[in-house]
Structure 1
Amino acid sequence: MRWQLSEQLRCLELQGELRRELLQELAEFMRRRAEVELEYSRGLEKLAERFSSRGGRLGSSREHQSFRKEPSLLSPLHCWAVLLQHTRQQSRESAALSEVLAGPLAQRLSHIAEDVGRLVKKSRDLEQQLQDELLEVVSELQTAKKTYQAYHMESVNAEAKLREAERQEEKRAGRSVPNTTAGATEAGPLRKSSLKKGGRLVEKRQAKFMEHKLKCTKARNEYLLSLASVNAAVSNYYLHDVLDLMDCCDTGFHLALGQVLRSYMAAESRTQASQVQG
C-alpha cells in the first residue's frame, strides 16, 4: 500500500512536470515565432523603402502626374503605389503580431507554468498529509489485529487448560465411588480433599478462561471497529480525496491555456484579415 501511495505522489509530480515543460515549449515557440515575424516585418519595411526611393524616376512622367491629380485612376502606377502601401501594412501587421507573441502571450504562458508549479506543490503536500493520515489508521488496524490475535491465543490456551482440568475432575469423581463401606471410611477424607482441590482448580481455570475470553471479545470488537474505520478511510481517500486533488491540479489550467491559444489564433486571424483587406 505504501508503494501505491508513493507512486501516486510520483505521478502527481510527473503530471505537473510535463505540464510545465509543455508551457515552457509553448512560450519558447511564441518567442521564436515573434522573432520570425519581426524579421519578416523589417524585411518588408526595407523592401518598401528601397522601391519607394526609386519613385523619383517616375515623378516627371505624364502618368505619375495624372495619378497625383486623380489618385483613384486605375493605372499601372496606381497599382504600384497600392502594392508598396500593402507591403508597408504587412510590415506593420507582422510587427504588431511579433509584439503580441513575445509580450503578453509568452509572459502569460510563463505565469501559467509558475502557477502550475505552485499548485502541484500544494497538492502534493496535501496528498502527503492525507496519505499519512490513512497510513496512521492502517497502522492502528495492524496493532488492533495483533492484539486480538494474542488475546485469542491466550483464550484458546485457557480454554484448553480448563477442559483438561474438567476431565481430571471427572476422573477423580469417578474413582471416588466407594467399593466397600470400610474402604470409604478409610479413604474418605483423602478423597474429599482431592475433590476439593480439583474443584478449586476447575474454578480457578474457569475464572482465568472467562477473563481471557472477555479480553479477546473486547479486542475483537476493537479490531472490527478499526477495520470498518480503515475501509471507510480507504474508500473516502480513493473515491473523494484523490478525485478532489486531481480536480485541484486541473483548476484553471485548461481554461488559462485555452485563453492563450484563442488569443494566439485571434492575433493570427487579425493579421490574415488585414492582409486580405489590404
Structure 2
Amino acid sequence: MQPPPRKSNYTKFLKNLHTEQIAKLHAKNQHECDLLEDLRTYTIKRSAIEKSYSEALLKISSAYLNKKIPNIPDIKVDGAEEKWNMWNVWRTVLEENEKLARARLAAVEVFQQQIADEAKFLRQHKLNVAKKCTDTLAQAHKELQTTVLDVDKTKKLYFDEEHTAHDVRDKAKDIEEKLKKKKGSFFQSITSLQKNSAKVSSRRDQLEEKSTGARNDYLLSIAAANAHQNRYFLVELQNCMLSMEAAVYEKVSEFLTFMGRTELLTCSATQHSFGKIRDQAQQLTREYNLQCLYLYYPVLKQHIQYEFEPCDNDPIDTVTIEHESVAQTLGQEARRWATRVLRETSLVRDATRKMHVYQAMRDAGQKVRV
C-alpha cells in the first residue's frame, strides 16, 4: 500500500486517487466487455463456417449414400480376420462423414446457445450495472473524503498548537536556565525573572495542554481515517469490483473450457470415424474383393473349357503333320506369329527407351513434348 505524500493535502491527493480509480474501473470493465464481444462474434463467425462446412458435407454424403451402391456382401468366417470389400468401405466413409456432419451441426447449435448468447447477455449486464456500481462507489468516496478532511483539519491545528507550544517551551527553558545561574541582565533583576518565569510556565502549561489535545485529536482522526480506508479498500472497493465483474472470469473460463471440450469431443469422433475407415481400408485386397464379387456375380467364376469331340469314333485327338500341305500351312502360321512377336517386342523396347528419356528430362526440370 502506497502512502500519500507527507507534505501535501491528504484530501486533494485522495480526490485525485478516487477519480483515477473510477476511470480505471470503467476501463477495466470496458476491456472485459470487449473480450466478451470478441468471444461472441468469434463464436458466431466460426459457427457459420462450421455450419456451412457441415451442411455441405452432409449434403454430399447423403447424395452419394442415396446413389445405388452395389450391395456386395462381405464374407464372414467365424474366427477369421474381419475384412471388407471396397463398396462397403466406401459406404462406411459416407456414413461416418454423415455422422460427423450431424455432430458438427449439433456443436454449432450448442456454441450458439452456450457461448454466443451467454456472452451477449453477460456483456449487456456488465454495461448496465457499471454506472450503478461506480455511483455507489462515488458516494463511498465522499464519505471517506469527509473523514480524511478531518485529518487535514486536526493536523493543521496540531501543527499550529505544537509550534506555539514549542516556542514557549524554549522560552521557558531559557528563563529557567538563567534562574539556575541566578544571573539577570542589566535591565532585569532576579525577581523580575522569577515573575516572568512563573508567567511563561503558566503559558507553557496551557499551550502544552492545547498541543496535547490537538495531537490526540490528530491521532484519533488518523485512526478513524485508516479504519475507514481499510473498510473502503477491503469491502466497498472489492464489492464494487465484484459487482462490475459479474463473475466474468468464471464465465470466460467456462466458455473457453466448453469450447475446448466440445472441440476435443468432435476431434475424438473424427479420429474414431477415420480410424475405422483406415482399418477397413487397410484390409482391402483384390483377392478378397474378387471372392465377394464371385459370390454376388457367380457367372464371373465360370471357367469354360472345351474338349475335342471325335466324329465317327475318330481316334486322333492331337495336331498332326502327316500331309505336306498341312505342314506347310502350320509353318506359315508359326512364322507369321513369330514375326509379329519380334515386331511388338521392338516397339515395346523403343517405347521403354523413350519413356526413360522423358522421365530424365522431367526430373531435370525440362518440359517434355511428346
**TM-score above 0.5:** yes
What is the match of residue 122 of structure 2? 112
Cα gap change, 1:74 to 1:155, in 2 (>3 Å): closer
What is the match of residue 64 of structure 2? 51
- Structure 2: which amino acid aligns with 1:94? R
Distance in 2, matches of 1:82 and 1:128, equals 67
What is the match of residue 26 of structure 1? 39
| 1:67 pairs with 2:77 | no
- Structure 1: which amino acid aligns with 2:138? Q
- The answer on whether the counterparts of 2:144 and 2:228 sit within 8 Å (CA) in structure 1 is yes
Q: Which has more radius of gyration?
A: 2
Cα gap change, 1:172 to 1:97, in 2 (>3 Å): same
How much does 1:90 deviate?
A: 1.9
How much does 1:157 deviate?
A: 9.1
- The answer on whether the counterparts of 1:38 and 1:95 sit within 8 Å (CA) in structure 2 is yes
Cα gap change, 1:239 to 1:274, in 2 (>3 Å): closer
What is the match of residue 105 of structure 2? 95
Distance in 2, matches of 1:242 and 1:102, equals 35
Cα gap change, 1:25 to 1:171, in 2 (>3 Å): same
Trace 1:185-224 onto structure 2 (pairs within 5 A). 214-224=209-219
How much does 1:215 deviate?
A: 4.5
What is the match of residue 254 of structure 2? 259
Q: Classify the secondary structure of the residue corresponding to 1:41.
A: helix
How much does 1:66 deviate?
A: 3.2
- The answer on whether the counterparts of 2:40 and 2:115 sit within 8 Å (CA) in structure 1 is yes
Cα gap change, 1:45 to 1:232, in 2 (>3 Å): closer
How much does 1:43 deviate?
A: 0.8
How much does 1:264 deviate?
A: 1.6
| 1:14 pairs with 2:27 | yes
Cα gap change, 1:47 to 1:210, in 2 (>3 Å): same
- Please list the CA deviations of residues 47-79 of structure 1 after superposition, one character each: whole Å capped at 9, or x if unmatched: 123333543xx5xxxxx2433999x97212111
- The answer on whether the counterparts of 1:37 and 1:94 sit within 8 Å (CA) in structure 2 is yes
| 1:82 pairs with 2:92 | yes
- Please list the CA deviations of residues 124-178 of structure 1 after superposition, one character each: whole Å capped at 9, or x if unmatched: 3443333322211111122223344555677789999999xxx9xx85998xxxx
How much does 1:221 deviate?
A: 3.0
Higher helix share: 1
How much does 1:46 deviate?
A: 2.2
Distance in 2, matches of 1:258 and 1:159, equals 67
Among 265, 281, 286, the alignment partner of 1:270 is 265
Distance in 2, matches of 1:173 and 1:273, equals 107
Counting matched residue pairs gives 243
What is the match of residue 42 of structure 1? 55
- The answer on whether the counterparts of 2:114 and 2:255 sit within 8 Å (CA) in structure 1 is no
- The answer on whether the counterparts of 2:65 and 2:94 sit within 8 Å (CA) in structure 1 is yes
Q: Classify the secondary structure of the residue corresponding to 1:137.
A: helix
Distance in 1, matches of 2:131 and 2:44, equals 28
Among 115, 136, 154, the alignment partner of 2:146 is 136
How much does 1:44 deviate?
A: 0.7
Cα gap change, 1:142 to 1:48, in 2 (>3 Å): same
- Structure 1: which amino acid aligns with 2:61? A
- Return 5+ residue gaps in structure 1 as ranges: 59-63, 175-194
Distance in 2, matches of 1:68 and 1:202, equals 126
Identity fraction in percent: 20
The alignment's C-alpha RMSD in Å is 4.1
Cα gap change, 1:203 to 1:18, in 2 (>3 Å): same
- The answer on whether the counterparts of 2:74 and 2:85 sit within 8 Å (CA) in structure 1 is no
- Structure 2: which amino acid aligns with 1:25? D
Give me the TM-score of the superposition, normalised by structure 1: 0.67
- Structure 2: which amino acid aligns with 1:95? L
Q: Classify the secondary structure of the residue corresponding to 2:84.
A: coil
- Return 5+ residue gaps in structure 2 as ranges: 1-12, 77-81, 175-183, 274-370
- The answer on whether the counterparts of 1:41 and 1:91 sit within 8 Å (CA) in structure 2 is yes
- The answer on whether the counterparts of 1:151 and 1:215 sit within 8 Å (CA) in structure 2 is yes
Query: More displaced, 124-133 or 114-123?
Result: 114-123
Among 225, 228, 248, the alignment partner of 2:220 is 225
Q: Classify the secondary structure of the residue corresponding to 1:66.
A: coil
Query: More displaced, 123-132 or 207-216?
Result: 207-216
- The answer on whether the counterparts of 1:23 and 1:113 sit within 8 Å (CA) in structure 2 is yes
